[in-house]
Amino acid sequence: MQEYITIDYFAKRLRVTVKKLRELQGFGWISIEEKDGKLLIAKNHEYKAKFILRLQHFLSPQEISDVLSHRNVARLLEEMRIGKPNAEIEPSHERAE
């Protein structure tokens, strides 16, 4: 059976706001459910959310969606140069499109 935690506790553990988690949900990257009047997130989404939050420093939302839908994430990230220790990657908000 899936284990859930409250969205407030989840946000506290990740050191983000509930609004930020809602943003991730808006992109379809995580699921927030309502049960008995409480907003809950599956506990196993914690690592996925951490991964997404880290990717947001380097990639655009479309690129993150591509990464999350890719079967071989490690290979894709290496192709995008995130996996290379000395790679110079500009944050996505500063990149020229």
- Residue 82 is predicted with a pLDDT of 56
pLDDT at 96 > cutoff 50? no
CATH number for the domain running over 4-88: 1.10.1660.10
Would you list the domain boundaries of the chain?
Answer: 4-88
- The CB density around residue 45, as the number of other CB atoms within 10 Å, is 20
Give 65's contacts (C-beta < 8 A, 6+ positions apart): 27, 28, 29
- pLDDT tens across 24-33, in order? 999 999 999 9
- pLDDT tens across 35-82, in order? 999 999 998 888 889 999 999 998 899 989 988 887 666 666 666 665
CA 78/CA 28 separation, integer angstroms: 24
Give the H or E element holding residue 56: none
Mean of pLDDT values over 73-93: 57
φ, ψ of residue 41 to 5 degrees: the values are: -130, 140
DSSP 3-state percent helix, strand, coil across the chain (nearest 5): 50, 10, 35
